[in-house]
Amino acid sequence: MRELTESEIQDVSGAGFIQDALTQGGSMVGNVVGSAIGSTVFGVIGGALGTILPGLGNIIGGSAGAGIGGKVGGNIGSEVGNVVGHTAGAVIESGLSAFFKRLGF
């Protein structure tokens, strides 16, 4: 068995408060942005379909399509934000840990 590195120890023992905050914040921001993009895309698709098939275009471009687009976009955005926030938090925390170790803390 080998010794764990500092970053492996932190991964095993759990995230710190910076990483937790950035992960949560990234997830929330991603959800909002993804919902807006998803609703807009489904609205545009519904408008385009409305010129070809008016009934189908009204359904997709209306509240049902925007709701579905918002949910799908929100979920995708939330996951992307979660990964970005988690990664940024891990980098910041490991940098701070290395800095304080050099100072002898």
105 residues of the chain, pLDDT tens digit each: 788 777 676 666 566 788 888 889 999 999 999 999 988 888 787 777 777 777 776 766 667 777 888 899 999 999 999 999 989 988 898 888 888 888 887
The H-or-E segment that residue 54 falls in is helix 54-61
By the 8 A CB rule, do 77 and 37 touch?
yes
Angle between helices 6-13 and 63-103 (to 10 degrees): 130
Give the model confidence (pLDDT) of 76-88 as tens digits. 999 999 999 989 9
In a domain, 70, yes or no: yes
Domain that holds residue 53: 19-103
In a domain, 99, yes or no: yes
Question: 0.85 exceeded by the pTM?
Answer: no
In a domain, 91, yes or no: yes
